[in-house]
Amino acid sequence: MNFKTFSAKLAFCLSMFLIIWGCSKSPLAPNRATVMNISIPMTNELRAALLGSNFNSLFYCVSGAGGVSLMEGTTGSFSAPASTGSINLSVTVPPGAQVLSLQLNSFGLQIVQAGPPVTVETPLAVGAIALDSINKGSTNENPVVEMGSVTRTCYWTNEANTTYAYGSRYGFATDALAQGTVAVGTGGPVTAYDIAFDCPLGPFYMQDGSGNSVNATSYVGPIAYLGTGRLVDYDSVPPDSNFYIYSTQAKAASGAPVSTLELNDVYCVKLNSMAGHAWVQITDPGTMGTTGPSFRFRVNSKLPYYAYDETLADSGNACNASW
């Protein structure tokens, strides 16, 4: 085992179509097989995510039109790479592929009171790349996928560190968390906030926190429910028809049996505090009167999937360590 890099050779003898982006940003079908030798550089952000993690695994997901998963798998466990070099993966993708998403995890066994130890995978970082940027000439391309941490305070909001146990609102651009739900000023909506958490009946739910839904009957809302599970399985922006003012509406529309927040719920949020979208995974649904919900996330201001991007708070070194 090489402790500086790892290489997992995955081969699926499947054909592939050439992807071409049209004006609508919708990829068209490619016409030949492509082997991808993916390199994940050991950036400062990724090194920080790996600190204290002895063993790791890498989940990958290839999605097609509409964000539908076409292929997924995992490699590992492997020892954490050194501070230099890269993580490498070779994979042949299936037909109709549009986006490749990656999720780096810490890997370990957790002892529980009843039953044998269970394997625990904790997300450390995620990244994604459009496959049209790879399939340009030869049959063996070497894309570089930069991954962004979901453990740093910039991209993980831990409400257990606050006293906002009956409602809060959050703005992704500036890492702004405040007590109370919808923010409306004397001039209308407050642009600093995107989502809010409320719990009038007990369990928390997510709602529009910008104030745009107040007295705006045509406003459809910023929240789409993507599913429950790994963040890597939900890498793209869904259709506009999937967005609602309340997460309860979004979950009910999807047929989910529980409409309030649950552990590992994944949402896509249209942002008010900055351009683009956020992909949000609930890490703790919260308990009314005790603590508000906690969540990890990544944003992208331009692309319809969570390729590496930074918030204003991150680029300005202004993330709040209080949450």
Domain containing residue 12: CATH number = 2.60.40
Which pLDDT value is given to residue 41? 84
Joined together, the tokens standing for residue 6 give 């790892």
- How many domains does the structure of the chain reveal? 2
* Amino acid making up residue 244: Y
* Buried-exposed string 275-285: b where 16+ CB fall within 10 A, e elsewhere: ebbbbbbbbbb
- Residue ending a domain, among 84, 114, 149, is 149
Q: Does residue 321 belong to any structural domain of this protein?
A: no
What's the CA gap between 225 and 275, in Å, rounded?
20
Which pLDDT value is given to residue 193? 92
Q: Are residues 263 and 124 in the same domain?
A: no
Which pLDDT value is given to residue 4? 38
Q: Are residues 145 and 160 in the same domain?
A: no
* Order of all β-strands in the sheet with 168-171: 176-179, 168-171, 195-198, 205-208
Residues composing the chain: 323
DSSP category for residue 65: G
Which pLDDT value is given to residue 137? 43
Which pLDDT value is given to residue 84? 61
Q: Are residues 139 and 218 in the same domain?
A: no
- Domain of 61? 7-149
Q: Does residue 274 belong to any structural domain of this protein?
A: yes
β-bridge mates for residue 106, sequence order: 56, 122
Which pLDDT value is given to residue 284? 95
Q: Are residues 102 and 209 in the same domain?
A: no
pLDDT, tens digit only, all 323 positions of the chain? 443 333 333 333 222 222 222 223 444 334 455 677 788 888 888 877 776 666 788 888 888 877 777 888 887 666 665 556 678 877 777 777 888 999 998 876 555 556 676 667 789 999 999 886 454 444 446 778 899 999 999 999 999 889 999 999 999 999 999 998 876 655 556 678 999 999 988 999 999 998 888 766 788 899 999 999 999 999 899 999 999 999 999 999 999 999 999 999 999 999 999 999 999 999 999 999 999 999 999 999 999 999 999 999 999 999 998 88
Bridge-based pairing state of the strands 205-208 and 195-198: antiparallel
Which pLDDT value is given to residue 69? 79
Q: How many CA atoms lie within 13 A of 169 on its CB side?
A: 22
Which pLDDT value is given to residue 70? 81
- Residue ending a domain, among 94, 129, 149, is 149
Nearest Cα neighbor of 41 from 146, 114, 112, 116 is: 146
Q: Does residue 70 belong to any structural domain of this protein?
A: yes
Which pLDDT value is given to residue 134? 52
Which pLDDT value is given to residue 10? 30
- Residue ending a domain, among 107, 134, 149, is 149
Query: If you write DSSP's letter for every residue of 73-93 in order, what string do you get?
Result: EEEEEEEPP-SSSEEEEEEEP
Q: Are residues 134 and 251 in the same domain?
A: no
Residue pair 312/299 in contact (Cβ under 8 Å)? The answer is: no
Q: Are residues 162 and 141 in the same domain?
A: no
Q: Are residues 132 and 161 in the same domain?
A: no
Q: Is the dihedral of CA 129, 227, 277, 172 positive or negative?
A: negative
Which pLDDT value is given to residue 82? 55
Which pLDDT value is given to residue 73? 80
